[in-house]
Amino acid sequence: MRNALIGALVLLALLAAAGAWVWRYQPERLPTEWRRDNPHSRDYAPAVYRWRDAQGRVHLTDTPPADRPYETVRIDPRRNVVPSTLPPPGATR
């Protein structure tokens, strides 16, 4: 009984290590939805959730709200989503 338990734990550890190796070093072998959430993948696109509060204000968060409808937005990590703080050339303040 004890040997069977040890064998099962060793097998579980090997499967977990194999899964971690694929996640880190071979992300293209993962399903598309998993690749979007894997920062090591070329298809990485983190999810942002857009929703409105009771006053109608729009919120963007990294976790979906539990009590209201939301829209999932995928962000391209190669694109800058922070607006420029510099005025356009030739503009005066």
**Per-residue pLDDT tens for 18-72?**
888 877 767 777 777 777 777 777 777 788 899 999 999 999 998 899 999 999 9
Residue 92 covered by a domain: no
Q: How many domains does the chain have?
A: 1
Q: How many residues does the chain have?
A: 93
Residue 84 covered by a domain: no
Q: pTM value?
A: 0.47
Residue 86 covered by a domain: no
Residue 64 covered by a domain: yes
Whether pLDDT at 93 is above 70: no
* pLDDT the model gives residue 83: 67
Residue 25 covered by a domain: yes
For residue 59, which phi and psi values (nearest 5 degrees)? -125, 145
Residue 48 covered by a domain: yes
Structural domain of residue 48, as residue ranges?
2-74
Strand partners, 16: none
Residue 83 covered by a domain: no
Q: Which of 7, 5, 40 is nearest to 26 (CA)?
A: 40
Q: pLDDT confidence of 84, banded at 50, 70, 90? A: low
* pLDDT the model gives residue 71: 95
